């Protein structure tokens, strides 16, 4: 049986376009995704860069309003930049209007790293040959050496962004503590440190599905397992460590009221076109986009492959792991690689994200993949 296929959208802004148009494109893609049979439509959260999904909760509400059946959620809320109550109340509002369709995915981006998390990240087992830094191919799945973020020499914008996203003097809770707060607020058991019971209105008893996100065998993966929550592994962001995260999650899993068995979703970046050469052309500026992120400037506008100059060899070296792990080609090419990813990871669901310069090409990428994957199209109401 074919496993479910879902979509992650960053509302990317193309060169020459605007944030307003990117948001309209997101709503249009979500409507089509529902018709084509995708299971979920998730929105990412990014700030001070050229993507329009900066307020994922607001965008989730707009997508839910424009659709009627598809699940809608966050991939993921950067909870280190939000109070627990703001997260629960925001999702509670959307759930109150669209009950039973909303996913609350949370990640540790923006959190200070605990000593535990740092040690786990340092000691995580690598599926690559770390002695030589060689890329491994595991049953058709490319697993490059883990990316060394020390290669990003200019962190000034990143640090400035963190400063701007919190009030002066504010400090994030440890990730596990904040997850506990969110669960307590959703379940109606929250009390302050002084013992006062408080209730999220709306938000308490909301029908949201809680997920944790992670990209390595560190705190997020193990915490999701210990709490018996579904886990999303970000292969599209960290292909060198995502499979380790899946292993750590399964090893730590304990049954809960939400899940009796582990449930794993794995993400992949895809571009699908009628033939391999067309897809490769459409994806040829993906490296430029990733380079803008890894150079420290943050995601830039997505360049037109018809006019962009090729990456220099030095630029290419900074992004070669992400280029090798992008799934690009005709439908049968991409489906074969996605099937390999599912087979190697044991994923219960795959989450695909696709970025192209032209909105029409992104629509076609998702449509072709839905058809080739065997998704069941749903007629519009």
pLDDT in tens, the chain (381 residues): 689 999 999 999 999 999 999 999 999 999 999 999 999 999 999 999 999 999 999 999 999 999 999 999 999 999 999 999 999 999 999 999 999 999 999 998 755 443 333 433 443 333 333 334 789 999 999 999 999 988 988 899 989 998 999 899 888 899 999 999 999 999 999 999 999 999 999 999 999 999 999 999 889 999 999 999 999 999 999 999 999 999 999 999 999 999 999 999 999 999 999 999 999 999 999 999 999 999 999 999 999 999 999 999 999 999 999 999 999 999 999 999 999 999 999 999 999 999 999 999 999 999 999 999 999 887 665
Given the structure tokens 């998704």, which residue do they identify?
A: 375
pLDDT given for residue 378 in this prediction: 79
**DSSP, res 149:** G
pLDDT given for residue 360 in this prediction: 98
Determine the angle formed by the axes of helices 359-373 and 331-345, rounding to 10 degrees.
60
Tokens at 195, concatenated: 């013992």
Question: What are the Cα distances from residue 185, in Å, to 57, 85, 108, 177, 237?
Answer: 17, 7, 18, 12, 30
pTM: 0.93
Contact 183, 73 (CB under 8 A): no
pLDDT given for residue 111 in this prediction: 52
Separation CA 11–CA 55 (nearest Å): 11
Select from 360, 379, 315 the least CA-distant residue to 34. Answer: 379
* Region class of 11: left (phi > 0), else alpha (psi between -120 and 50), else beta: left
Contact 373, 319 (CB under 8 A): no
Contact 71, 101 (CB under 8 A): yes
CB-neighbour burial class of residue 199 (10 A; exposed 0-12, middle 13-18, buried 19+): exposed
Question: What are the Cα distances from residue 377, in Å, to 32, 64, 276, 366?
Answer: 10, 19, 25, 12
CA atoms within a 13 Å half-sphere pointing along the CA-CB vector of 216: 19
Contact 322, 290 (CB under 8 A): yes
Tokens at 291, concatenated: 């380079």
Tokens at 227, concatenated: 């709490």
pLDDT given for residue 172 in this prediction: 87
CATH topology of domain 5-373: TIM Barrel (3.20.20)
pLDDT given for residue 110 in this prediction: 56
Outline where 42-149 has alpha helix (H). 56-66, 84-97, 115-123
Which secondary-structure segment (H or E) carries 108? none
Neighbouring CB atoms inside 10 A of 99's CB total 11
């Amino acid at each position: 049986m074919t496993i479910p296929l879902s979509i992650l959208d960053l509302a990317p802004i193309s060169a020459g376009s605007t944030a307003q148009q990117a948001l309209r494109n997101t709503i249009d893609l979500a409507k089509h995704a529902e018709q084509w049979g995708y299971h979920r439509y998730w929105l990412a959260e990014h700030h001070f860069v050229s993507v329009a999904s900066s307020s994922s909760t607001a965008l989730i509400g707009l997508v839910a309003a424009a659709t009627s059946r598809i699940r809608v959620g966050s991939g993921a809320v950067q909870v280190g930049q939000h109070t627990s109550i703001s997260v629960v109340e925001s999702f509670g509002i959307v759930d109150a209007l669209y009950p039973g369709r909303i996913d609350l995915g949370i990640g540790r981006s923006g959190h200070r790293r605990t000593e535990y998390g740092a040690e786990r990240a340092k000691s995580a087992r690598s599926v690559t040959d770390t002695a030589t830094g060689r890329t491994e191919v595991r049953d058709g799945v490319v697993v490059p050496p883990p990316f060394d973020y020390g290669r990003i020499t200019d962190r000034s914008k990143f640090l400035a962004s963190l400063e701007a996203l919190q009030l002066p003097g504010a400090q994030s809770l440890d990730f596990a503590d904040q997850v506990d707060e969110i669960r307590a607020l959703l379940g109606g058991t929250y009390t302050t440190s002084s013992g006062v019971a408080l209730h999220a209105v709306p938000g308490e008893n909301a029908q949201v599905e809680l997920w944790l996100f992670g990209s390595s065998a560190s705190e997020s993966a193990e915490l999701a397992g210990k709490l018996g929550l579904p886990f999303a592994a970000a292969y599209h962001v960290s292909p060198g460590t995502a499979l380790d995260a899946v292993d750590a999650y399964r090893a730590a899993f304990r049954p809960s009221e939400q899940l009796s068995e582990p449930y794993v979703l794995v993400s992949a970046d895809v571009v699908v076109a009628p033939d391999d050469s067309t897809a490769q052309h459409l994806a040829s500026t993906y490296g430029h986009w990733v380079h803008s992120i890894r150079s420290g400037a943050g995601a830039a506008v997505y360049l037109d492959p018809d006019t962009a100059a090729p990456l220099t060899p030095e630029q290419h070296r900074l992004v070669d792991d992400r280029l090798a792990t992008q799934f690009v080609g005709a439908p049968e090419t991409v489906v074969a690689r996605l099937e390999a990813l599912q087979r190697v990871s044991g994923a219960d669901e795959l989450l695909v994200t696709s970025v192209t310069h032209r909105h029409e090409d992104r629509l076609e990428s998702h449509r072709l993949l839905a058809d080739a994957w065997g998704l069941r199209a749903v007629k519009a109401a």
